[in-house]
Amino acid sequence: MKRLLPWLALLAFASVPMWLKDPYLLNAFITTGIFIVAAMSLNLLLGYTGQLSLGHVAFFGIGAYTSALVSLGFDVELVGGFHVVHEPWPVWLGFVLAVVISGLCGYIVGKLSFRVRGAYFVIVTISFAEVVRLVALNWVELTQGPLALTQIPPMRLGFPAVGYLDFYSKQSNFYLVFGVVVLSYVIISRLVNSRIGRAMVALKENESLAVSVGIDVTGYLVLAAVVSAGIAGAAGSLYAHYLKIIDPDVFLFLYTVTMVIMVITGGKGTLAGPIVGGLIFGFVPVATRKFASPEVQWILYGLFMILIVFVLPQGIVPAIEKWFGIREKPPVATVAETGTQDTR
């Protein structure tokens, strides 16, 4: 039963566009899917390595802008009258570059910011996201600033000889996002169930002990940051090509908060957690929009977040597993089990 459950869920979601014709609900599924990808990437850092990155939206936004700019083209004058002209490239290349550039940013940010931990790390990551947002707002020549990048082409896949598939319709976008969700899930689950994943959990549980047994802590943290940022960049790219317009507001702190709420609610450090949390928070606005204004919805989000931390600090998925007596095989952290907990 436990083994069957993911496959049943997969089938159920794959069938959604066949019976669901309401465009508003389909749209909710697509945006929810995009945010689930982002939340899964955050979970890799927050849940498995224990690093709360509150600047995660930076990678999402960088992915969105990279992908949009690669497929739109740009002409930027750098210092000294030197022009960088970029002709529009195919959209799929934009997607790939979004992943690569976001991953690269994850590498740089990781290299620099994993020198500090805890509250300091949180604040460096927020600062990074704010700086990137201000650059997107002020580098008007490249990003159009507050006027937004518009007319971003939809995703297009195919080969010159065979023909192309443009992702215009909601149905096709649903499957595109669905595919990326599944792919990200597979990548993350392979990663955390490998030797690397065990090392990550070990350093989360007791960093000094992990160091003492020879785990290259910074190396693993940076690796997690690169993969996490790359996946967040993929989500950003999907977002840009689905909405066809992006402005510097994609970097708002509230989006990071949304991802954090999804991960915490669902259960950090579990593979299904971000999906469950993402579905809940993706559809709460749908359910409440009839009687609640956006402010009231956000107030409810905030209260819900506090409530979850108070009542179910581990999140929904671990609570359900405990309830039904199912134990997900935990990534065995041999180091952690023998270690004494650092009391400070």
For other proteins, the binding residues (CB under 8 A) are 52, 112-113, 115-116, 118-120, 122-124, 126-128, 130-131, 134-135, 137-138, 253-254, 257, 260, 264, 293, 295-296, 298-299, 301-306, 309-310, 313
Q: Which CB, 125 or 184, lies closer to other proteins?
A: 125
What are the tokens at 64?
């969105």
Task: In angstroms, give the least distance from the CB of 130 to other proteins.
Answer: 5
How far, in whole angstroms, is CA 122 from its chain's centroid? Answer: 17
Helices and strands per DSSP (H, E), number in the chain:
16, 4
Q: Which CB, 100 or 137, lies closer to other proteins?
A: 137
Phi then psi for 258, rounded to 5 degrees?
A: -55, -45
* Nearest by Cα to 68 from 103, 105, 95: 95
How far, in whole angstroms, is CA 222 from its chain's centroid? Answer: 16
Q: Which CB, 7 or 310, lies closer to other proteins?
A: 310
Q: Which amino acid is present at 135?
A: V
Q: Rounded to whole angstroms, how far apart are CA atoms 244 and 328?
A: 40
Q: Which CB, 93 or 140, lies closer to other proteins?
A: 140
Task: In angstroms, give the least distance from the CB of 310 to other proteins.
Answer: 7
Q: Taking each helix axis as running N to C, give the angle between helix 316-323 and helix 253-266, from 0 to 180 degrees, rounded to the nearest 10.
A: 10
How far, in whole angstroms, is CA 306 from its chain's centroid? Answer: 22
How far, in whole angstroms, is CA 22 from its chain's centroid? Answer: 26
Task: In angstroms, give the least distance from the CB of 122 to other proteins.
Answer: 7
Question: Cα 236–110–281 angle (5° rounding)?
Answer: 40
Q: Which CB, 215 or 308, lies closer to other proteins?
A: 308
Task: In angstroms, give the least distance from the CB of 210 to other proteins.
Answer: 18
Q: Which CB, 237 or 265, lies closer to other proteins?
A: 265
What are the tokens at 90?
């195919």
Task: In angstroms, give the least distance from the CB of 256 to other proteins.
Answer: 10
Task: In angstroms, give the least distance from the CB of 58 to other proteins.
Answer: 11
